Homo-oligomer: A and B are copies of this chain.
Amino acid sequence: MADLRILVTADDFDLGAEAARLEAGADTGAVVTFTGRVRDVDGGLRHMEIEHYPGMTEVALTRIAEEAAARWSLAAVTIVHRHGRLAPGARIMMVGTASRHREAAFEAASFLMDYLKSRAPFWKKEVTAEGAEWVAAKDSDEDALDRWT
């Protein structure tokens, strides 16, 4: 069974340390990580606020990780997601997968991201000089799930 690590935190995380943890098994040949970060496209972003649903968040992320581990041969899965106030450039979240082979590690990481985007209870709000606005969900994110069903 894959080693699952789920972390929901206000704090920043250390990608190098998370990757080192993923690499730990003797049979792990491939580690893929995805890191999401607060973009500041127009230069006007003061900060981002991420709200979540404590309790359900951990349950939802664990379920998504378990689903990935059931579909691909994985030694380890990591999901870290921050909440609270994040400055432009800050890391928001990461997923990581460890496997024998690159295909499984890549596909599982992509799967985790697609499900996390639309099925984990996080909501982003962007605060600019003009005010605050909740980020709208994209149809393309919902559509991305189709390729896994």
Contact = CB atoms under 8 A, between A and B. Distances in A.
Copies of this protein, total: 2
A101 to B, nearest CB: 9
Contacts of A28: 37, 39
Contact of A16 (B16, B30, B36, B105): B16
A69 interface: no
Contact of A113 (B36, B100, B102, B109): B102
Interface in A98-128: 100, 102, 105-106, 109-110, 113
Interface in A10-55: 14-17, 19-20, 23, 26-41, 43
A94 to B, nearest CB: 9
Nearest to A105: B34
A89 interface: yes
Contacts of A34: 30-32, 102, 105-106
Given A32-B33, A34-B106, A41 B27 contact: yes
Given A14-B16, A29-B36, A32-B35, 12 more contacts: A19-B35, A27-B39, A28-B39, A29-B39, A30-B34, A31-B34, A31-B37, A33-B33, A36-B102, A39-B100, A102-B110, A106-B113
22 contacts: A16-B19, A19-B33, A19-B35, A23-B35, A23-B89, A23-B91, A26-B89, A27-B39, A28-B39, A29-B36, A29-B37, A29-B38, A29-B39, A30-B37, A31-B33, A31-B34, A32-B32, A33-B35, A34-B102, A34-B105, A34-B106, A106-B106
